[in-house]
């Protein structure tokens, strides 16, 4: 079956595309940057660059498709360009029009739990979109998931980042309003099954995990996972809009918006006993919340260099080692397996319980930094003489660092190559004041430790240089890191196919 998927690059969309391709379906991915976005899957994914809010480029996107999966939507507005009206409502109208034009027989719409009863502007827009879907002449199904949490989601992942990195956490509206989240992989399985069932046509189905939670409860669970216990500061609900606006100017996400607060007050839960379709219709045992949160802790998305602010900086630190008792490969293997021991004392790689301290391909490493809390990197590429680590969401830097061991004539060179820019304006200021100095000291100390590990000497000591890259070179670095991330994702998709 060929399926057009809108919004295939968000938390839900990515998981849905992976599930559909595992089931043997061909996906046509519709997103603004579909040509790049589709590269994270090893095959079975076509691209159609477009926005659901713009009708003309959509024409032809559903041609030859058996089913349209409409995921694209927004949970908060950035007017005047991105609004609930032009995206959630108008975008749905555009997609339904295209599906009808292409004579596509089926449509699945991803709505939201509470869309039929909620009074928030977001829920009202979802309710209007549902009415448009019900006017579709073919077989339609509406899925209404509760808060979907997964790598990079706007609520739970943001709260996780705040617990890891901040000394204090704002708790809005008391923090005791209940909601009923669903793990993204559970929703993806349900989407996959719905795509293959015609008996669900004409149905609107509520979906949620089995456990109800709250902001305070989530904080308690995340504290157990991360080992950090930041102080909680109550924030009156009336200050949510102002606080979110100020945080946005600094490039910092808040764990809840005014719209989401309204939804929580209304009770974003399955209210009618027995109406949760996760167990009642799909017979799926939901992932326990604690298990999902532990998965989430190691699956945050990359902080790509192109997503940061300021100049892209390149820092190089190296030593040419004479009389090493180890070959380039053996020295790098020593570095790989003893990474946690060889890094300087202030990089605590045992900051969270059970996290790895050695370099393995695809592994997520968590470390504690002074004045910054816990941050993460992921091994994007690993060979016998090199490794590339990319920063993840919540890290003060958006970029990557490459470690390289190679023979150069009679000497053995160990080199650290760091390419990064600040993640947001606040981190830019921090890097310019103390962060740059600490970063340079860190890599120099590491190279020093490697020289000692080699059994040789570095007659010229540890050398270094740094510069801001011109736009053309910065673009090449951004593309290099992006390609590494996509290649790792393709490899993981192949393993799970």
Within this chain, do residues 283 and 336 fall inside the same structural domain, yes or no? no
Which residues of the chain carry a pLDDT beneath 70?
237-261, 263-265, 267
Which residue spans within 225-363 are E strands per DSSP? 231-235, 309-321
Q: For 283-293, what is each residue's pLDDT tens digit?
A: 999 999 999 99
Neighbours of 354 (CB within 10 A): 10
Give the residue from 242, 268, 297 where a domain finishes: 297
Check: CB of residue 467 under 8 Å from CB of residue 473.
Answer: no
Within this chain, do residues 232 and 363 fall inside the same structural domain, yes or no? no
Which residue spans within 294-363 are E strands per DSSP? 309-321
Radius of gyration of the chain (CA): 24
Q: Which of 160, 223, 171 is nearest to 375 (CA)?
A: 160
**pLDDT given for residue 433 in this prediction:** 86
Element (H, E) at 464: strand 463-468
- CA gap 40, 36 in Å, rounded: 8
**pLDDT given for residue 249 in this prediction:** 47
**pLDDT given for residue 288 in this prediction:** 98
**pLDDT given for residue 497 in this prediction:** 76
Within this chain, do residues 309 and 289 fall inside the same structural domain, yes or no? no
Give 444-448 contacts, CB < 8 A, sequence gap 24+: 444/317, 445/344, 446/317, 446/342, 446/343, 446/344, 446/416, 447/317, 447/318, 447/319, 447/414, 447/415, 447/416, 448/319
**pLDDT given for residue 76 in this prediction:** 86
- CA gap 93, 80 in Å, rounded: 19
Q: Which of 302, 315, 305, 309 is nearest to 475 (CA)?
A: 305
- CA gap 261, 116 in Å, rounded: 17
Give the CA distances from residue 229 to residues 176, 232, 454, in Å, rounded to whole numbers and listed in that order: 18, 9, 40
Q: For 307-326, what is each residue's pLDDT tens digit?
A: 999 999 999 999 999 999 99
- For the chain, how many residues are written? 497
Element (H, E) at 106: strand 106-110
Check: CB of residue 118 under 8 Å from CB of residue 212.
Answer: no
In three-state secondary structure terms, 321 is strand
**pLDDT given for residue 445 in this prediction:** 96
- CA gap 398, 218 in Å, rounded: 27
Give the residue from 297, 331, 356 where a domain finishes: 297
Within this chain, do residues 362 and 259 fall inside the same structural domain, yes or no? no
What's the CATH code of the domain at 138?
A: 3.40.50.720
Give the residue from 248, 281, 297 where a domain finishes: 297
Within this chain, do residues 252 and 326 fall inside the same structural domain, yes or no? no
Q: Which structural domain, as residue segments, surrounds residue 148?
A: 2-297
How many domains does the structure of the chain reveal?
2
DSSP label at residue 343: S
Within this chain, do residues 321 and 282 fall inside the same structural domain, yes or no? no
Within this chain, do residues 197 and 85 fall inside the same structural domain, yes or no? yes
Within this chain, do residues 316 and 241 fall inside the same structural domain, yes or no? no
Within this chain, do residues 279 and 338 fall inside the same structural domain, yes or no? no
Within this chain, do residues 266 and 338 fall inside the same structural domain, yes or no? no
Within this chain, do residues 292 and 314 fall inside the same structural domain, yes or no? no
DSSP string, 405-450: EEEETTEEEEEEEEEEEESSHHHHHHIIIIIHHHHHHHHHHHHHHH
**pLDDT given for residue 243 in this prediction:** 54
In the chain, how long is the greatest CA-to-CA distance? Answer: 78
**pLDDT given for residue 175 in this prediction:** 86
**pLDDT given for residue 71 in this prediction:** 98
Check: CB of residue 147 under 8 Å from CB of residue 182.
Answer: yes
What's the CATH code of the domain at 335?
A: 3.30.530.20
Within this chain, do residues 277 and 344 fall inside the same structural domain, yes or no? no
**pLDDT given for residue 432 in this prediction:** 86
């Amino acid at each position: 079956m060929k399926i057009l998927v809108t919004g295939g690059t968000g938390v839900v969309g990515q998981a849905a595309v992976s599930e559909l391709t595992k089931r043997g379906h061909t996906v046509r991915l519709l997103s603004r940057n579909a040509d790049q976005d589709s590269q994270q899957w090893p095959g079975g994914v076509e691209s159609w660059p477009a926005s659901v809010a713009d009708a003309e480029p959509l024409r032809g996107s559903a041609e030859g498709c058996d089913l349209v999966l409409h995921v694209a939507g927004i949970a908060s507005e950035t007017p005047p360009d991105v609004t609930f009206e032009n995206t959630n409502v108008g975008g749905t109208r555009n997609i339904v029009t295209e599906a009808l034009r292409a004579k596509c027989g089926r449509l699945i719409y991803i709505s939201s739990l509470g869309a039929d009863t909620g009074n928030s502007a977001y829920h009202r827009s979802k309710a209007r979109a549902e009415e448009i879907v019900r006017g579709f002449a073919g077989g339609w199904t509406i899925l209404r998931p509760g808060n979907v949490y997964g790598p990079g989601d706007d609520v739970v992942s943001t709260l996780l980042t705040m617990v890891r990195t901040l000394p204090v956490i704002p708790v809005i509206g008391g923090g005791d309003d209940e909601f009923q989240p669903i793990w993204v992989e559970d929703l993806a399985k349900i989407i996959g099954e719905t795509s293959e069932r015609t008996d669900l046509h004409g149905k609107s189905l509520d979906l949620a995990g089995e456990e109800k939670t709250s902001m305070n409860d989530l904080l308690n669970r995340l504290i157990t996972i991360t080992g950090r216990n930041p102080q909680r500061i109550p924030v009156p609900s009336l200050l949510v809009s102002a606080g979110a606006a100020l945080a946005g100017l600094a490039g910092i996400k808040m764990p809840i918006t005014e719209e989401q607060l309204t939804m929580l007050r209304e009770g974003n839960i399955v209210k009618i006993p027995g109406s949760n379709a996760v167990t009642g219709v799909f017979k799926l045992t939901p992932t326990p919340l604690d298990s999902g949160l532990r998965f989430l802790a190691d699956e945050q998305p990359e902080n790509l260099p192109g997503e940061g602010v300021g100049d892209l900086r390149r820092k190089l630190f190296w030593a040419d080692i004479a009389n090493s008792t180890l070959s380039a490969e053996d020295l790098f293997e020593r570095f790989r397996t003893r990474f946690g021991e060889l890094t300087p004392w202030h990089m605590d790689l045992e900051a969270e319980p059970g996290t790895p301290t050695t370099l393995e391909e695809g592994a997520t490493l968590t470390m504690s930094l002074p004045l910054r809390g816990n941050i993460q990197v992921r091994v994007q590429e690993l060979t016998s003489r090199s490794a590339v680590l990319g920063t993840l969401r919540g890290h003060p830097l958006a970029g990557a660092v490459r470690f390289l061991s190679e023979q150069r004539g009679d000497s053995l060179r160990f080199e650290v190559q760091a390419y990064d820019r600040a993640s947001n304006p606040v981190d830019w200021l921090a890097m310019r004041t103390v962060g740059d100095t600490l970063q340079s000291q860190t890599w120099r100390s590491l190279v020093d430790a490697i020289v000692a590990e080699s059994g040789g000497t570095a007659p010229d000591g540890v050398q270094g240089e740094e510069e801001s890259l011109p736009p053309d070179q910065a673009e090449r670095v951004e593309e290099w890191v992006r390609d590494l991330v996509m290649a790792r994702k393709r490899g993981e998709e192949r393993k799970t196919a």
